[in-house]
Amino acid sequence: MKRKILKNIEWGILICTIVLVAIGLVALTSATQNSNYDELKKQIIWVVISFPILIIIIFIDYNIIAKISPILYGIILILLFAVLFTEPINGATSWFGVGSFSIQPAEFAKIICILILALLMSKIQKNGKDEISKISKLFLILTVFAVPVILIIKQPDYGTALAFVMALIFMLFTAGIKKRYIIISLILVIIAIPLLYFFILPEHAKTRIDVYLNPELDPRGAGYNIIQSKLAIGAGQLFGMGLFKGNQTQLGFLYPKTTDFIFSLIAEEMGFIIAAMIIILYVILITKAIFVAKTAKDDLGSYIAIGISGVFFFHMIENIGMTMGLLPITGIPLPFVSYGGSSLLSNFIMIGLLLNISGRRQKAIFID
């Protein structure tokens, strides 16, 4: 059985992951040279922890993992509620401190939410493909989705909440939701954007949007990070300024260079070629994840894989987009590259699930 799973696995996904992790560790080496490499050392520890967990995830049938998702869902809701009472870090109550490490429940909530939604949607569709478009069923799906998202918004962590939204969109589209719901949703979004801006969003979130539209509005305050990020990316040119030699990176102008703006560091010190290679690796990874969703042996596997594709797609687009000034800054990390233990471990779990699903495909699907 294990040999069959290994034979069917989409190995390109794992190769892309390993290359991205390697680039991230090189970038963190440069970013942390003035801080005794503390974050680099922690990241290496998380990589060492993550690989065995990835292997374990591959060999546990994803149907079993999905079946326990309601229990995991209850646990993660408790954690998302409890984390609201922790000490704020950079204005957000998103982390539990565990010694010198910190755990972010929202990162693992993404996986659990995808699993329980996939389980729910696959059960709903056992009675017919059109069942997913019934109002009562949609309401149930949206309720299960909304509870963790509201708790994450309360932290506040709008970027992670948007990753949930992207995963849900990918899953509903794959499930064949009727087009009228998509059109209605788009209209509601268009109406909601100005209402959210003027009446709901806190001042710091409005400031981020204002600065996104015009970074020069506050060049030494809210617009400072994005201006320095664009300068770093432009300074790298084709081959980069060289490791440990980036002006914005090494002189302390780029912040936070280990998490949100690590792509800017890579572009400055390693150049356009490596930065472009990172984008290509993500495109390959996401394309292969979508292929896994398309060729999964059942709806459950398909929905899990496409939900994960949505998360990776959003993180890639948002993180790289914000470093270039194309999208507002939301504090979204770059998967496998940015520093962050919870993010890295949750991403490895999602890769494990993709490899799990691909390894259990029927061989006949490759014959056309």
pLDDT of 319-367, one tens digit each? 999 999 898 888 899 999 999 999 999 999 999 999 999 999 865 343 3
Residue 15: inside a domain, yes or no? yes
Q: Alpha carbon of 337 to those of 71, 225, 264, 340: distances in Å?
A: 31, 19, 12, 9
Residue 364: inside a domain, yes or no? no
Residue 124: inside a domain, yes or no? yes
Overall residue count recorded for the chain in this entry: 368
pLDDT at 267 over 90: yes
Domain of residue 29, residue span: 2-359
Any idea which residue has 């030699």 for tokens?
245
Burial of 43 (0-12, 13-18, 19+ CB in 10 A): buried
Query: In the chain, how many domains are there?
Result: 1
Residue 158 CB contacts under 8 Å (≥ 6 apart), including other chains: 205, 330
- Report angle CA 75, 80, 81 to the nearest 5 degrees: 100
123 vs 299: CA distance, rounded Å: 9
Residue 153: inside a domain, yes or no? yes
Residue 368: inside a domain, yes or no? no
Kindly state the tokens that stand for 134.
Answer: 């019934």
289 vs 310: CA distance, rounded Å: 9
The helix/strand/coil state of 164 is: helix
Residue 365: inside a domain, yes or no? no
| Band of pLDDT at residue 100, cut at 50, 70 and 90 | confident
Residue 289: inside a domain, yes or no? yes
Q: Which of 114-118, 222-226, 291-295, 310-314 has the lowest mean pLDDT?
A: 222-226
Residue 367: inside a domain, yes or no? no
The answer to whether the Cα torsion of 177, 187, 168, 347 is positive or negative is positive
- Greatest alpha-carbon pair distance for the chain in Å reads 61
